[in-house]
């Protein structure tokens, strides 16, 4: 997927459990799909890149209803979750997530007061793959933690520097203990 997105003319980042694995440098657990984060403002470019894919928007988010994401349809908040597969007969293989931005700032879709400069939102793996910064990924995972999220947290916590730990610890609605 990284090779596929490498031709993209917009920023993108591996997210979810794979982002944590890229940060720690090893596999932690099995995954059902691959999460990719892009900025909402780039959705036309994303839709163009994935023109041959079968794309469905979770509408409303978290309710299990999927609606086709047709070319030209602009997705507005709260829509942010797109299920992707290579064709209608293929299994779902990617979850595309749209996040907000204002100018050069990433804006949390969950808590808009939480922001970061876009150039601080991500890291790059040794092989050149961009992935969501672990503290940002943990922030998103903290909303409703599951066993796999706890596994991710415990694996990446020792690698977080002091500023990343502080950033994560002071964010509202975060349930991790980051001592």
Cβ proximity of 83 and 92 under 8 Å: yes
| Domain limits, the chain | 2-133
What's 2-133's CATH class? alpha beta
pTM of the model: 0.90
- Measure the CA dihedral 38/2/84/111, to 10°: -30
% of residues, the chain, pLDDT over 90: 69
Please report which helix (H) or strand (E) contains residue 55, including its range: strand 54-58
The model's pLDDT over 69-121, given as tens digits with 9 standing for 90+, comes to 999 999 999 999 999 999 999 999 999 999 999 999 999 988 899 999 999 99
């Amino acid at each position: 997927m990284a090779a596929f997105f490498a031709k993209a003319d917009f920023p993108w980042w591996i997210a979810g459990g794979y982002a944590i694995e890229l940060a720690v440098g090893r596999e932690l657990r099995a995954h059902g799909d691959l999460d990719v984060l892009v900025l909402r403002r780039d959705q036309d470019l994303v839709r163009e890149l994935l023109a041959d894919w079968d794309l469905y928007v979770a509408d409303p988010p978290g309710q299990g209803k999927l609606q086709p994401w047709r070319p030209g349809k602009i997705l507005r908040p709260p829509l942010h979750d797109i299920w992707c597969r290579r064709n209608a007969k293929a299994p779902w293989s990617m979850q595309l997530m749209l996040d907000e931005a204002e100018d050069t700032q990433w804006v949390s879709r969950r808590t808009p007061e939480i922001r970061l400069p876009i150039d601080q939102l991500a890291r790059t793996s040794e092989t050149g793959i961009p992935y969501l910064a672990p503290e940002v990924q943990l922030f998103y995972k903290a909303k409703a933690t599951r066993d796999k999220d706890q596994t991710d947290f415990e694996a990446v916590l020792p690698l977080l520097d002091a500023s990343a730990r502080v950033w994560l610890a002071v964010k509202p609605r975060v349930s991790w203990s980051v001592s």
